[in-house]
Amino acid sequence: MKYKDYYAALGVPRTAGADDIKKAYRKLARKYHPDVSKEAGAEEKFKEVAEAYETLKDPEKRAAYDQLGRHDPGEQFRPPPGWEQSFGDSSFSFEDVDLGDLLAGMTGRGRRGPRAQNMPMPGQDFEAAVRISFDQAYKGTEIELDMAVPEPDENGFLRRVPKKIRVRVPKGVTDGQKLRVPGKGGKGANGGRDGDLYLGIEVQAHPLYRAEGLDLYMELPLAPWEAVLGASVDVPTPAGRVTLKVPAGTHAGQKLRLSGRGLSRPDGTSGHLYAVAQIVVPTVVDERQRALFTQLQDASTFNPRAHMVD
């Protein structure tokens, strides 16, 4: 097992009291927490101090850790004889075990006596971030996650093992949503419930559609004459192309609704698809078109800046 110097991680002496440990941890958490700091390496640093605090804030875990003595960080070491018996089974190999995982698994174990040993312990919750395409979100999808999860071995010690989990993601999920997969976290002990798996969904941006809740928005470029005269235009929707009737006198920014063509959920609720009109103009016109536009200009009394007149 590799030694980790938890006191050094928090920058406190080995004699520090609980208050000083908490104070030191809070200061470092404010500095390195990934929600606060976007600095490179901040997340790693935070994990390190959080692991140190997790052990040192708990008097039992701290006592067990102190019994390990002092070593250089990263140094391979063996706990003193009998150390493992103090909170679990004997005949245990510490070769490839992580000190943090080991101490994390200590809660409710042998040190509190036989009663605590049989106490139901709920399994740990797992969390994972999942990135899916717009299409997968629209139709629903099945994803496979490769995770390294702490699981108790035959001696009840936590070790990280690779685990594949398949999850059915229902249709209609949106960016930033959280999903819960019941029972797919860590195994509970002594009749405690299994933990859950929580997924944070990130939906990749689509080149055409932008989701707001279940509603979808897309830009609909129209030629000036289509906007003025009205038109039937062929537009894409996630479910396939449809013909959209653009009413005469459509202005830029106007939202044309394609009812029920947004995202839909398994329970039947669905959003709409809004085509937002944009008036675009040809940048190159030939002689004839130029003549026609000039004719239109002469014939029209339309003042688009009427509202700007004092």
Beta carbon nearer to other proteins, 27 or 290: 27
Q: How far is the CB of 29 from other proteins (least distance, A)?
A: 5
- Residue recorded with tokens 């071995």: 153
Of the residues 95, 144, 287, 298, which one makes contact with other proteins according to CB under 8 A: 144
- Yes or no: say if 281 and 224 are a contact pair by the CB < 8 Å rule: yes
Instruction: Pick the stretch among 6-14, 45-53, 95-103, 288-296 that binds other proteins (CB under 8 A).
Output: 45-53
Beta carbon nearer to other proteins, 117 or 141: 141
258-297 mask for other proteins (x: CB under 8 A)? -------x-x------------------------------
Beta carbon nearer to other proteins, 201 or 227: 201
Instruction: Pick the stretch among 46-54, 100-108, 235-243, 249-257 that binds other proteins (CB under 8 A).
Output: 46-54
Q: How far is the CB of 43 from other proteins (least distance, A)?
A: 12
Give DSSP secondary structure letters for 110-155.
GGG-HHHHTS-BPPPPEEEEEEE-HHHHHH-EEEEEEEEEEEE-TT
Give DSSP secondary structure letters for 237-302.
-TT--EEEEEPTT--TTPEEEETT-S-B-TTS-B--EEEEEEE---S---HHHHHHHHHHHHH---
Beta carbon nearer to other proteins, 202 or 244: 202
**Cα–Cα separations (whole angstroms), residue 220 to 75, 223, 244, 270:** 64, 10, 10, 21
Beta carbon nearer to other proteins, 208 or 231: 208
Residue 139 lies near other proteins (rule: CB under 8 A): no
Beta carbon nearer to other proteins, 2 or 210: 210
CA nearest neighbour of 197 among 187, 212, 211, 207? 187
Kindly identify the residues of this chain, within the stretch 67-96, that bind other proteins according to CB under 8 A. none
Q: Summarize the chain as % helix, strand, coil (round to 5).
A: 30, 25, 45
Beta carbon nearer to other proteins, 122 or 230: 122
Kindly identify the residues of this chain, within the stretch 4-33, that bind other proteins according to CB under 8 A. 22, 25-26, 29-30, 33
The span from the CA of 263 to the CA of 177, in Å, is: 14
* Number of residues this chain uses to bind other proteins (CB under 8 A): 42
Name residue 235's beta-bridge partners.
242
Instruction: Classify 66 as helix, strand or coil.
Output: helix
Beta carbon nearer to other proteins, 26 or 70: 26
Kindly identify the residues of this chain, within the stretch 157-196, that bind other proteins according to CB under 8 A. 164-170, 172-173, 175-184, 193, 196
- At residue 149, φ and ψ (nearest 5 deg) are -115, 145
The span from the CA of 266 to the CA of 295, in Å, is: 55
- Yes or no: say if 156 and 117 are a contact pair by the CB < 8 Å rule: no
CA nearest neighbour of 298 among 308, 307, 306, 290? 290
Q: Which residues bind other proteins (CB under 8 A)?
A: 22, 25-26, 29-30, 33, 35, 46, 50, 53, 57, 122, 125, 142, 144, 164-170, 172-173, 175-184, 193, 196, 198-199, 205, 210, 265, 267
